Amino acid sequence: MVVTSEVKNGIGWLKINRPEVLNAINTEVVELLTNALEKWEKDSNVVFVCLYGEGQKGFCAGGDMRKFYDLEAEDVIPYAEKFFSTEYRLDALIHNYSKPILAYMNGIVMGGGVGLSVGASHRIVTEKTKWAMPEMNIGFFPDVGASFFLNQLPGYIGRYLALTAKVIKANDAIYIGTADYYMESSEWETIQEKLLTKDWSSASVLKDLGELLTATGTSALDISELKVHQELINQHFQYDTVEEIVASLRSESINGDEWVTQELNNILSKSPTSLKVTFQQLINGKYKSLNECLEMEKDMAIHFMDTADFYEGIRAVLVDKDGSPKWAPSELEDLTESDIEHYFSTPVKTL
């Protein structure tokens, strides 16, 4: 089974069981997770849900993007419409769930994995956590509600993480508010035993769960790199266009700032189309609700199915793995406003 679900001691235990692909999700996984959550929300025997991934390497590495590449020559649109509709519906369900959801974010938590965890009420990270919205690496855009939650991060960190696809650690995730508790992964079995032996009550579950995790967790974390660089991030990512952000980084890179040079080169390696669409996405999403953001992202995702950079990015990262995508257009200046606006229009449905 790609998803296992069982109720023990008032807890709905929900596990993604695809360790061979770092618990990446496909339509089947999404539907099974959704069915369990919807069933348990109505079940008075379930006080809260615990969501986790099989194995030590990943909570969830995101969506199975290789599938889109394999379907490009066929009619990829119907599959994409079903996948993104069901995935985003699940993400919204988690954000709005009426019972607590504990997400154990051990190992890789990327893309769709962030979508599954960011809306949970209690989020544990470990020394193995690697958190990212890495869609920029494959010529796509940060989805699963990123238009909503990246805009809620401190300062301009949301823009920074979206445009650079930066991988961050546990302490950074806690600093930006996408995780709540830190503990060593070796403590997970102990936590599960405590969860299975405690007497849970719906009336006090939020307080009791929070106290249990706080008592077991550790606060002795290394200082957050994002916190250290917050001022620099705000300085360079405050501008109204990607071109201005690049110019700001470039002007300081000339002075030999190592961090700035690294981030400049990082951004310049991404698809210009993805950079500009993502930047506009975050601007558009700033005053939208989660559901409005998900609707916008669904339209964007369907448009990306017709974008050459998307398949080129998957080829370079997931298929040939040469890490040398050839973006077209290759320069930010080659994209017009109408090129970008196109991604925010409602796709024409084919009969």
DSSP state, 20? G
Give the active site residue among 10, 107, 111, 112.
112
Contact assessment for residue 111 and residue 62, using Cβ atoms and an 8 Å cutoff: yes
Give the active site residue among 54, 91, 135, 180.
135
Residue 335 to residues 69, 142, 143, Cα–Cα distance (Å)? 24, 19, 21
Residue 8, H or E segment: strand 3-8
Give the active site residue among 10, 12, 62, 63.
63
Which tokens hold the place of 6? 């069982």
Which tokens hold the place of 188? 């997970």
Amino acid occupying residue 309: D
- Is residue 63 among the annotated active site residues? yes
- Residues 6 or more apart whose Cβ sits within 8 Å of residue 335: 272, 273, 276, 329
Contact assessment for residue 25 and residue 64, using Cβ atoms and an 8 Å cutoff: yes
Q: DSSP 3-state helix, strand, coil percentages of the chain (rounded to 5)?
A: 55, 10, 35
- Is residue 177 among the annotated active site residues? no
- Is residue 210 among the annotated active site residues? no
- Is residue 143 among the annotated active site residues? yes
**Phi and psi dihedrals of 174, rounded to 5?**
-70, -40
Give the residue ranges of DSSP H helices in the chain: 27-41, 66-71, 76-95, 112-117, 146-149, 157-164, 170-176, 188-197, 205-216, 225-228, 230-237, 242-253, 258-268, 272-285, 290-304, 308-314, 337-341
Give the active site residue among 143, 180, 263, 309.
143
User: Where in the sequence numbering do the catalytic residues fall?
Assistant: 63, 112, 135, 143
